[in-house]
Amino acid sequence: MKNLSKAVALAAPAAMMSAAPALAQSIDEKVNEIFASSTGWFVNFIFSPFPGTSFPWIVAWLVVAATVFTFYFGFIQFRAFPHSIALVRGDYSDPKDAGEVSHFQALATALSGTVGLGNIAGVAVAVGIGGPGATFWMILAGLMGMASKFTECTLGVKYRNEYADGTVSGGPMYYMTKGFAERGLPAGKFMAVLFSIFCILGAFGGGNMFQANQAHAQITNVVGDYPGWITGLIFAGVVFAVIVGGLKSIARVTEKVVPFMGILYVGTALFILVMNFDKIGWAFGQIFAGAFTGAGVAGGMVGALIQGFKRAAFSNEAGVGSAAIAHSAVRTKEPITEGFVSLLEPFIDTVVICTMTALVIIITGQLIQDPTTGLYLLDAGASTIQTVDGNKGVALTSAAFSSAFGGFKYILAVAVILFAFSTMISWSYYGLKAWTFLFGEGKTTEMVFKLLFCVFVVIGAAASLGPVIDFSDAAIFAMAVVNIIALYFLMPIVKREMTSYLSRLKSGQIRKFG
Amino acid sequence: MTTKFVVGYDGSAASRRALDFAMERAAAVGATIIVAHVLEWSPYSFLTPTELEERHKRRGEELARAESHLMAPLKSQLSGKGVPLETVIRYGHVADTLCEIATDNGAAQIFVARKGESSLAARVFGSVAGTLAQCAPVPCTIVP
């Protein structure tokens, strides 16, 4: 009897262990099923194309807004570009404010939230489907997106909450409530609540689960396959230490290493371009030819345009409203100055970093062309361009860089992991701001969000929850729907600020220090 | 016009030696001492979103702590020495900020301690004393 019970006692955990993968599998399937059935309509709605095309209306929504802001503010992104650089350099910062958040710091923090997988994997997807021509449309959308960022970040600073203890909270939910009330417009509070809900969902999904999932995918590419929950637990532990434990050293190290990785990435890309300088003219020829003719890619010119616009919009988050939360902490008497600084963000993210990725892929000859016609060869499904070794996504970028530097895939893996981590830290903050807007500020409510955030890290890395991630991406772009409506209503306020500031700058009333 | 001496002070024993040395010189020539405490800060450092949010609050706390823990005890200790004493707390690069304070106040001299650091970092990036020796706008006394 004793032996029997011992045998049962030994057999039970063994049976549980053998059943565990099946159980985990069924949980994954169940979660997928529930999410797909309850949220599929929302995802389909957000990413649905215009009838008869494959052009998602949400991309048009972002690009049209960027175009409207560009014209409304008189091409401010080009006119104010040198002044933006001067602001970041601190030429207009009062030395008495040393020790406060500088324009550079607000910009760097916001950038660490946007520079990431979109710049590395996303561009490869765009060029792989839309061909080199996608790069042209991506740059154009990036340049236009600068005006959207300018609008939202100015409003973020103008309508932020400054508390008695010196801390600040800002972002679209604050300019929706306060800005709409100031202009006597209804529904500001309703829009702020809606935005906050989407922001929380986006933070859990695109800003968390997607990042954990892709970081795990990168690690397995280098070290071989192993269960995702291990990566998830490690990531969750580190995120927990930073956002709950307040372990600033880890975040500081990341904040220092991420820009370094960004510089290394761009530096390596530049080096590859210099090594192949004779092909740069040809590459730009491909980009311009592809932009207007399609050069044989799936969907022709429209296919290239869709991919380019989509990638720029998804990468720099201009119009989404997330950057307005990060930028609102800067110490300035003139909210518009943060608008000027923030317009550099899509420029660095899309016009510089994304373009570098695209150029390296094109110049290193990853996309296979027909030697006689010069057109790109499509794969069996005729949806993507054939690549050397059949690489797609991040693997395509990795192959392009590795063709020049053999060991670059390891550096790239580290970069992806760090970018993913810094994006998670940024989005944990964006989500928390939306959470406290809805549920009030307080240690308990904040702790609930932070713990939930850590749980989602594990889920994201462990499971391939496609529908969950689709839903989260849709939530991020739903933020843009609400945010851009608010920006249309509040843009006259930004214009007033801009006109006043520029006239004072011209008259010499606003001068450089030192 | 009163002669002014700027003394870099961070609460360390070495900086106290520099201050005492400057006090003797000030007593001899009837100069005013400006005790300067500089909190190392770069506007180009990287902060997390939470640090951005709390920066203004933390700055206030750091300034208050420097005043209550460093400057206030020093002022009470040195009040009866017969040398007029001013204090200033600033953020910035230590050597550059000491130079700015000296220029802004029309100081005649800067006094700083030499910590005798031989670390690799000091060799690569230079020490406060070394930088001042190169860049100070007025004579600079480095107290060992």
User: What is the secondary structure of A216-240 as a DSSP string?
Assistant: HHHHHHHH----HHHHHHHHHHHHH
Looking at residue A491, what is its pLDDT? 94
Percent of chain A surpassing pLDDT 70: 87
The residue type found at A63 is V
Beta strand segments in A95-143, E: none
Per-residue pLDDT, averaged over A160-183, amounts to: 90
Q: Which residues of B touch A166 (CB under 8 A)?
A: 54, 56-57, 59-60
Q: Which residues pair with B6 in a beta bridge?
A: B34, B110
Query: What SS3 class is residue A173?
Result: helix
Q: What are phi and psi for residue B87, nearest 5 degrees? A: -125, 150
Chain-centroid distance of CA A477 in Å reads 11
**What CATH number corresponds to the domain at position A203?**
1.20.1740.10
Q: How far apart are the first and last CA of chain A?
A: 90
Nearest Cα to Cα of residue A123 among A396, A411, A469, A421: A396
State the Cα–Cα distance between residues A321 and B142, nearest whole angstrom.
Answer: 53
Quick check: A95 contacting B, CB < 8 Å?
Answer: yes
Q: Which residues pair with B113 in a beta bridge?
A: B143
State the Cα–Cα distance between residues A82 and A77, nearest whole angstrom.
Answer: 10
**pLDDT at A34 exceeding the cut of 80:** no
Would you say residue A49 lies in a domain? no
State the Cα–Cα distance between residues A216 and A230, nearest whole angstrom.
Answer: 9
Residue of A nearest to B63 (CA): A99
**A473-500 per-position pLDDT tens digit:** 788 889 999 999 999 999 999 999 999 9
Looking at residue A7, what is its pLDDT? 44
Per-residue pLDDT, averaged over B44-71, amounts to: 87
Placement of tokens 């057999």 in the chain: A11
Helices and strands (H and E) in chain B: how many: 6, 5
The confidence band for A11, taking pLDDT boundaries of 50, 70 and 90, is: very low
Quick check: A429 contacting B, CB < 8 Å?
Answer: yes
Nearest Cα to Cα of residue A196 among A355, A363, A430: A430
The 10 Å Cβ neighbour count of residue A12 is 10
Looking at residue A174, what is its pLDDT? 95
Number of domains chain A contains: 1
What superfamily does domain B4-143 belong to in CATH?
HUPs (3.40.50.620)
Specify the higher pLDDT residue, A415 or A454: A454
Quick check: A324 contacting B, CB < 8 Å?
Answer: no
Quick check: A337 contacting B, CB < 8 Å?
Answer: no
The confidence band for A247, taking pLDDT boundaries of 50, 70 and 90, is: low
Would you say residue A32 lies in a domain? no
**A43-93 per-position pLDDT tens digit:** 888 888 888 777 788 888 988 999 999 999 999 999 999 999 999 998 888
Chain-centroid distance of CA A326 in Å reads 13
Looking at residue A5, what is its pLDDT? 45
Looking at residue A12, what is its pLDDT? 46
Residue of A nearest to B52 (CA): A329
Would you say residue A72 lies in a domain? yes
Interface test with A, best of B46, B98, B99 (most A CBs within 10 A): B46
Residue of B nearest to A426 (CA): B49
Would you say residue A4 lies in a domain? no
Which sequence spans correspond to the domains of chain B?
4-143
CB contact under 8 A, B53 and A425: no
**A428-472 per-position pLDDT tens digit:** 999 999 999 999 888 899 999 999 999 988 888 876 656 666 777
For A219, the domain range is: 54-507
Per-residue pLDDT, averaged over A24-40, amounts to: 66
Nearest Cα to Cα of residue B18 among B26, B7, B10: B7
The confidence band for A15, taking pLDDT boundaries of 50, 70 and 90, is: very low
Looking at residue A98, what is its pLDDT? 82
State the Cα–Cα distance between residues A388 and A382, nearest whole angstrom.
Answer: 16
Interface test with B, best of A105, A161, A253, A258 (most B CBs within 10 A): A105
Chain B residues with CB under 8 Å of a chain A CB are 39, 41, 43-57, 59-60, 62-63, 90-92, 100
**A359-391 per-position pLDDT tens digit:** 999 999 888 887 777 778 777 766 778 787 777
Per-residue pLDDT, averaged over B67-71, amounts to: 90
Looking at residue A4, what is its pLDDT? 39
**pLDDT at B57 exceeding the cut of 90:** no
Query: What SS3 class is residue A138?
Result: helix
- Residue A108 makes CB contacts below 8 A (sequence gap 6+) with A255, A259, B46, B47
CB contact under 8 A, B49 and A168: no
